[in-house]
Structure 1
Amino acid sequence: MSRVPRRLAMVAAPITAALMLLTACGGSGTNSNAPAPKAALGQNDINPQDVANLKDGGELKYPVQDYPVQFNELQGDATSGDIPPITRSMMPTPSIEKADGTFTANKDYVDSIELKSKDPQQVVYKLNHKAKWSDGTPITWADYKSQWQAVSGKDKAFVVLSSSGYSAVSDITKGADDYEFTINFQPKYAEWFRLFQVLYPKSMTSNPDEFNKGWAEKPKVTGGPFKFGQADPTAKTVIVVRDDNWWGDRPKLDRIIFRNISTTGGAASMDALASGELDFSGIAGNLDAYKKAQTIPGVVFRKATLPNMRWVLFNGSGDSVVKDPELRKAIIRGIDVASITKAEVSQLIPDAKPLGNHIILDGFPGYQDNSAGYTYDAEAAKKKLDELGWKLDGQFRKKDGKQLTVRDVVPAGNKASDEEAKLVQNQLAAIGVEVKIDEVSNDGFFDKQVIPGNFDITHFANMDVTNLDTTTVDYKLGDGGDQNYGKVGNDKINALIAQASEELDDAKRMELFNQIDKQVWDLGHSLPLYRRPSIVAIKDKLANFGNEGLAATDYTKIGWLK
């Protein structure tokens, strides 16, 4: 499945959500217990077929881990990674990512996107005159300008998920007509191509109430190959149907049914796949699910390499016991990431290694291991805890009469989080730190636990790393650090992020990312574990779909082989 800009997933969650879970290892649906084969960076695995080989009609039963709380994916409540797969089947996607991680103009909406000038930085859009909203209104430069104004962060009445990128835009000016405009940046913005991966109509983005609440129950206007059919919050399904007024290539499917499966990637989703209730399911690192899927007739695996990682996040805010950065770093040294990696993914990826970088994952350009001094060393951890005044008193440590007890919040039914939490619990007990695992409802895990900082530590997947947007929202402190849930950061990191944001040279930007990562290690912000071995189990007759890698999904070409 394609990447979307969400890290949130119990997964992944980030994601995490089903879409994000759908990244992966693949191969044939045999009964072998061999490790899932590797996937090359920059490639995808979607069973590519000429649309002439596909049936006209049919449906796709698509699992999601969260029913959408909001159909405006730019709004602050739209944290789940399951929202973009739904919305982007219906809404314009002007800038789309390819399998190799580069971006291009989606010709259904944009004739061209060109970096016209580097200093001052200007990007020129020329729009497809055929593009229109479902109410017949043309899609023009005014829609783009209105979205920028809403998401820029300047008007606090608009509650946005992230203003990253948009906040660097100084103005959007009309060109020769309503179908041409220039984006002016001040300061410069390195990853300018990431803007407008989704577009909403001016009728929504020009009004704060409409932006924040108007699309909570359903979208009011669409502009994609599919249009809104129905949403059933009781059955937790969203149905989109083919839009006959679509001006691009006619979609092969009649409809897509997005169905909430709370334990995507586990036994329930494998049973649903076997019974025909689903047409595919993410597996991630769940070995039991992988083996189960191998027994389902007509099911194969599809693979791709994505910048998705599992991590342990620390809470440095409020009254959390791990508010002290030195304590966080001591605890980090008491966690054996190598053994966790081996336990969780070695049967699927035998050569999997612990990550030494929060921002650039192994296998991606610019990766270097910055973990020196923060790797597992139980004796060093004990010594540091002693120095901090946390003395062993019986089985666990105390300071000023208070026992060192860390609350580890995990979502119920998530195998990876549960297993990781138990391993961390045992490892930290060995250095005198008590870990209490607090298993909470999977429903609203992020909204009720992670976002408000209701944890000491927690586990989930960060689904979209190795880019500026993720770096900003995860590690910046203050405005723009929308998903820095532990509130751990400093002015130096903020300054480096600002510098990276303006650096148009990719190699130099990677150097800055590594400088940021060293600071992140030094603050004990979080502990990266391993790159996720995501897996998609999918019906073998489903074509042009499965694991897009970094590429955006082309909903018009998904279909069933004749």
Structure 2
Amino acid sequence: MSKVDAPRGRTCSRTLRSVALLTSGVLALPALAGCSSDEADTGKAPAQDIAPAGRDSVADGGTLRWAIDALPTTLNAFQADADAATTRIAGAVLPSLFTLDPSGRPQRNPDYVESAEIVKREPKQVVLYKLNQEAVWSDGREIGAADFVSQWRALSGKDSAYWTARNAGYERIEKIERGANDLEVKITFKKPYADWQSLFTPLYPRDITGTPSSFNDGARTTLKAMAGPFQLKSVDHATGTTTLVRNPRWWGERAKLERLVLTAVPRDERSAAVAAGSVDLAEVDRQTADRIALAPREKKGAGGQPLADGPEGADDKGEATSQQVGEQPFEAIRQYASEQTALRGYVIRKSLEPVYTQLALNGEKGPLADDRVRRAVARALNRKELAETVLAPLGLPAAPPGSHLALAGQRAYADNSAALGEQSTKEAKALLADAGWTPAGARRKTAPAKAGGEAKGDEKPSPSTTEPVKQDDKPSSDGLYIVGDDKPAGRAHGPDTGSSGTHVLAPAPAAAAQGMSLQRQAESLDDDPATRPRTNAAEKRGGMAGAYAPRGTAAPVRAARTIGKDGKPLTLRFVLPSGHGSEGLRSVGDKIARMLGRIGVRTEITKVADESYFKDHIASGDYDLALYSWPATAYPATDARPIFAKPVPASDGSLLVEQNYTRVGSDHIDQLFDQAAAELDEEAARDLVRKADARIWAAAGSIPLYQRPELIAAKPAVVNAGAFGFAAPRYQDIGFKKPKTTKK
């Protein structure tokens, strides 16, 4: 899947955006209270796929080469330019006081903390940490209260000289003191804070957080002191590698690996790196995973069916001969066969990543500023079908997420999608009609021809008082518009791959005769699956229905007449990334466009470069519809609040949206987040989070579609690593399985 997603860290930076107008009407929808803790089913978290092995069966030593997207620009996880590589390094070399288990729940890390608990609630919340007495920094100094105090001061937000990306929670601390001895740290909060376990992970030494200069620049390429099973040896830009080695002062279980080398391999080069065998562990895309899955197999698969494990022209050993190739490029086929042989040295480990992909609806302006239109778009979607498109071919669970704030298995999870309502084309059309968008509204009135007047050129005045909206675009064979296309008339069009980067998927005002009759039939159908006409084979395969269908194949029958208001069709601009690895998003986008076509909504798909997708379109609000992802978190009251906070006007007249790129929010949602963050009773805080999620569903600015797949190519000998799911890696256990010994 695409990696042009929202940042995965708990970034809470505030960003000024353009002025926007948001609707704030009361949503008269049922089930807004959310589920109580007794009623809700948290579901089951997807299983990890990491080839688990006991430490006794893991070899001592060795170097693991782990692919990352790029070398980190900073080693300070609290700066705005921190990335996934920063997080991975910090997890291996710095203290994490609490880590997540496979169900996404925070657990105390005994390597650093013997106990951590709330010891006082009134009049102020007090948390007492008792540290592991063996925990020391790599320079020999004990980890203690001074490190906590220094990090709090840097992240409290009081000193703007510190370039921090987030300070959530730290601003609630009133003071930090030494406890009964050097191993105790007592933290007093001026405001109650339910997510206190999220603080001080990672924990940096006071040498880094002590001054603005050391915080801002001192941890960009090196760390003065570390305290993990590994320590940083080098960041080499010439080779594109970051090397971690065993920490000789580590007091816990000794790291199995001698070295952990993080190798920068861009996404579009990942498949080649795996085929070359230059990495031992790498996240890969669907196409690479499919090739690896096929590579170990012989000529026949399950049921004796032949496997397509190479392009046409390859012989039964995966090798090509020039006689078999014909007109195909012989060299390309030989290279493919060679790569397939190399890919046999890998396996695919897969699970669901703790990240969900959503359809974002920009409520800043235009038709989607009306909550009725947003809800109509949302209710037109078959989320189950979209999830199955992505996950079913991988053999992964395809249940659409029922929450914006947690995923199945987490304590805060509950399916609150009923606050929006189930998929219903009929209800979606009714919502649009209530908002004034109707088939009749797409036709504009024209003045009657004057008596004795002459039409311009060869045109004749229409006897009707209305005329269809003028369309300069050409309808394709399946009743969908193709915009910016200069292909010859009459040619069936697929998704645009030309330089324009734009095509529209929406009902044409006139289709083939059979398409028109079927369209009228579709308008009389309800949502009973038994009465739905069948889609053609191309649609079932995920392609554009009808675009490449054989002669005589029926056009899609669920397409409705274009709707509009005051003679203007309802057209939504759907922005999608165009780069390598984004094929899955584009396929989902095409399916969404067809679903919206069934309710008469025209959808203009614009494909843009990955590097500009988020910054220039999502963050700036230059879109109507978009697909991007958000990570799940164990601390939704803190971490998810800026994603769904109501935008507010800034002093310069612009709009402060934080991370709410849909620009849809409400005071009530904000209040529920604030109450949850201050509620120290775990069950009560969970109920408040669920109520906030129900309101977010009702506002229909964000529609979760599916949990993103996590596909990891691994050498078979690599153990305790792969598709981790929610859980944090236990770096000291990662290694290579001991070879089997043969008995004499």
TM-score tier after normalising by the smaller chain length? 0.7 to 0.9
Partner of 1:175: 179
**Aligned runs of 1:311-390 on 2, under 5 Å?**
311-317=358-364, 322-349=368-395, 352-365=398-411, 366-390=413-437
Distance in 2 between residues matched to 1:402 and 1:551, nearest whole Å: 50
- Against the structure 1 CA distance between its residues 58 and 297, is the aligned structure 2 distance closer, same or farther, given a 3 Å change threshold? same
How far off its partner does 1:258 sit? 2.0
Matches within 5 A, 1:60-459: 60-78=64-82, 80-119=83-122, 120-233=124-237, 236-263=240-267, 268-282=269-283, 286=286, 289-290=289-290, 292-295=292-295, 296-302=343-349, 307-317=354-364, 322-349=368-395, 352-365=398-411, 366-390=413-437, 391-392=441-442, 393=469, 395=508, 404-410=571-577, 412-413=579-580, 414-443=582-611, 445-447=613-615, 449-459=617-627
Gaps of 5+ in 1: 1-7, 17-38
Q: Deviations over 1:197-245 (max 9, x none)?
A: 2111223323334434443444454332322233345654433233334
d(CA) in 2 for partners of 1:14, 1:246: 31
For residues 503-536 of structure 1, what are the alpha-carbon distances to aligned partners after superposition, in whole Å with 9 as ceiling and x for unaligned? Answer: 3333333322221112112222201102334343
1:15 to 1:540, Cα distance in 2 relative to 1, 3 A? farther
Indicate if the aligned counterparts of 1:62 and 1:279 stay in contact, CA closer than 8 A. yes
Matched-pair contact (CA < 8 Å) for 2:144–2:182? yes
Label 1:465 to 1:328 Cα distance change in 2 as closer, same or farther (>3 A). farther
The match for 1:10 is 3
Asked if the contact 2:576/2:586 (under 8 Å) is kept, the reply is no
Counterpart of 2:642? Answer: 473
Give TM-score scaled by structure 2 length.
0.63
Residues 145-171 of structure 1: per-residue CA shift (max 9 Å, x gap): 221232233444434333333333332
Corresponding residue for 2:454? none
Equivalent-residue separation in structure 2 for 1:211 and 1:175 (angstroms):
26
The answer to whether the Cα contact below 8 Å between 1:475 and 1:484 also exists between their aligned partners in 2 is: yes
Residues 98 and 104 of structure 1 are in contact (CA less than 8 Å); yes or no, is this contact kept in structure 2? yes
Q: What is the match of residue 686 of structure 2?
A: 510
- Residues in 2 aligned to 1:340 and 1:283: alpha-carbon distance in whole angstroms: 21
**Given residue 280 of structure 2, which amino acid in structure 1 is its aligned partner?**
D
Instruction: Output the aligned Cα RMSD.
Output: 3.5
The answer (yes or no) to whether the contact 1:294–1:300 under 8 Å persists in 2 is no
- In the alignment, which residue of structure 2 is the partner of 1:551? 727
Out of 496, 500, 503, which is 2:672 matched to? Answer: 496
Counterpart-to-counterpart distance in 1, 2:211 and 2:658: 22
2:713 alignment partner in structure 1: 537
The 1:450–1:183 alpha-carbon spacing in structure 2 relative to 1, beyond 3 Å, is farther
User: 2:487 maps to what in 1?
Assistant: none
The residue identity in structure 2 corresponding to 1:311 is Q
Give a deviation string over 1:106-135, Cα, whole Å, max 9, x none.
333333323323444322112234434344
Deviation per CA, 1:418-456, whole angstroms, max 9, x where unpaired? 222222233334444443444344347545554444543
- Cα distance in 1 between the residues matched to 2:369 and 2:211: 39
User: 1:93 Cα shift?
Assistant: 1.7
In 1, the alpha carbon distance for the partners of 2:584 and 2:359 equals 12
Offset at 1:354?
2.7
Does the 8 Å contact 1:287/1:347 carry over to 2? Answer: no
Deviates most, 393-402 or 140-149: 393-402
CA distance in 2, matches of 1:263, 1:552: 23
Structure 1 CA distance for aligned equivalents of residues 158 and 621 of structure 2: 25
Residue identity opposite 1:338 in structure 2? K
- Other structure's SS at 2:641 match: helix
**Aligned AA for 1:253?**
L
Percentage of pairs with the same residue: 30
Q: Which moved more, 1:505-514 or 1:298-307?
A: 298-307
**Inter-CA distance 293–458: structure 2 relative to 1 (3 Å threshold):** same
Q: 1:105 to 1:151 in 2, by over 3 A?
A: same
Counterpart residue type for residue 539 of structure 1: K
The structure-2 alpha-carbon separation of the partners of 1:167 and 1:321, relative to structure 1 and needing over 3 Å to count, comes to: farther
1:157 to 1:138, Cα distance in 2 relative to 1, 3 A: same
Structure 2 Cα separation of the partners of residues 344 and 59 of structure 1: 34
Question: Partner amino acid for 1:346?
Answer: A
- The alpha-carbon distance between structure 1 residues 235 and 349, as it changes in their structure 2 partners (threshold 3 A), is same
Partner of 1:461: 629
**Partner AA of 1:552 in structure 2:** A
Q: In structure 2, do the counterparts of structure 1 residues 130 and 507 end up closer, same or farther at CA, with 3 Å as the change threshold? A: closer
- The answer (yes or no) to whether the contact 1:164–1:473 under 8 Å persists in 2 is no
Residues paired across the two proteins, number: 527
Please give the alpha-carbon distance, in whole angstroms, between the structure 1 residues aligned to 2:367 and 2:139. 53
User: Retained in 1: the 8 A contact 2:176–2:187?
Assistant: yes
**What is the alpha-carbon distance in structure 2 between the residues aligned to residue 71 and residue 449 of structure 1?**
28
CA distance in 1, matches of 2:4, 2:258: 30
Secondary structure of 2:75's aligned partner: coil
Deviations 1:308-355 (A, max 9, x none): 3221223344x6774444433333233332321222222234762333
Give 2:57's aligned residue.
Answer: 53
2:696 is matched with which residue: 485, 495, 520? 520
Amino acid at match of 1:412: G
Higher mean displacement: 532-541 or 338-347: 532-541
1:297 Cα shift? 3.0
- The offset of 1:75, in angstroms, is 1.6
Kept after mapping to 2: 8 A contact 1:58/1:560: yes
Whole-angstrom CA distance in 2 between matches of 1:55 and 1:189: 44
**Aligned-pair distance for 1:301?**
4.2
Q: Identify unmatched segments of 5+ residues in structure 2.
A: 10-42, 296-342, 443-468, 472-507, 509-561, 649-655, 739-744
SS of 2:135's equivalent in the other structure is: coil
Contact kept? 2:97, 2:201, Cα under 8 Å: yes
AA partner of residue 470 (structure 1): D
Which amino acid is 2:86 matched to? I
Conserved in 1, the CA contact under 8 Å of 2:65 and 2:279?
Answer: yes
SS in 1 for 2:375: helix
Checking the alignment, whether the CA contact within 8 Å between 1:9 and 1:81 is kept in structure 2 is: no
Q: 1:376 to 1:48 in 2, by over 3 A?
A: closer
Q: Identify which range, 286-295 or 105-114, moves more after superposition.
A: 286-295
Report the CA distance between 1:12 and its aligned residue.
Answer: 5.4
1:26 corresponding residue in structure 2: none
Q: Flag the structure with larger Rg.
A: 2
Contact preservation (8 Å) 2:2, 2:583: no
